[in-house]
Amino acid sequence: MNQKTHIICHIPKTAGTTLRRHLKHLLEDQKSLIHLARRGNIVCKKNSITQFLKRTQLEKNLAQVIIGHDVNYETKLHVSNNKVIESVTVRDPIDWEISRYNQHVNRMVMRKNKPISYEFWLSKVNKWHSQFDWLLSNYYCLKQSISNMNNSLKFELLLSCFQNFDNIVLLNRFEGFIQHLLTDLNLNCDLSQLKNQNVVGIDKLNYFEKTALNMELIEKQTEFDYTCYKYIQSNYSKSPFK
């Protein structure tokens, strides 16, 4: 078992796009680098490439990095002949929620629609407003059933979920994780060309207003996520990039 496969569960707004686009300069896209997501499937279809999950075992074993929103607890089974290292990145909950809101509103404006308020986004837009709800919904394939669970049950499920990952990386230590990943794969570790993608204030506008109402709403919304985030900080901080 000499071949290694790093499997990275990409929670939205946690720098997964930045990492994937950097890796595209170092690995062969959709062969040694697999984008396991809707957009990855579109690339395969456009270029007449067999989608990863439909490939032979020998072809699957060529994957050095599998990254995307569609990574779940079963992904490792597709490369079980390799040494598998699973990772996920999380970020400060308020920063995550603001980033999700800005992503949605910027897309609305790009489509010639008017911006919506944060209050409207929170109460009316059917999106996950918790990165940990997103993780359970997608990694454990629980989908919308997460919405009907109380926080105590979700936290127990998250404790189980965390056990699947070799690396739970805090976003503020993300570059250290990338260096570790590249070193482990014997790739060029020069990060001078690493470029953060979709940055508010550079690539898109910031529509979140720090009014008293918005701050009250977002602090209430992220209470559970901060419980989870603080648990990660306390229990997954042994390596320099976690």
- Tell me the sheet residues that pair with 88: 9, 168
What span, in angstroms and rounded, lies between the C-alpha atoms of 61 and 71?
16
CATH class (in words) of the domain with range 4-235: alpha beta
pTM, to two decimals: 0.94
pLDDT at 132 (0 to 100): 98
Tens digits of residue pLDDT in 162-196? 999 999 999 999 999 999 999 999 998 888 878 77
Tens digits of residue pLDDT in 201-237? 567 899 999 999 999 999 999 999 999 999 999 998 6
Domain boundaries, the chain: 4-235
Tokens 């470029």 label which residue?
Answer: 195
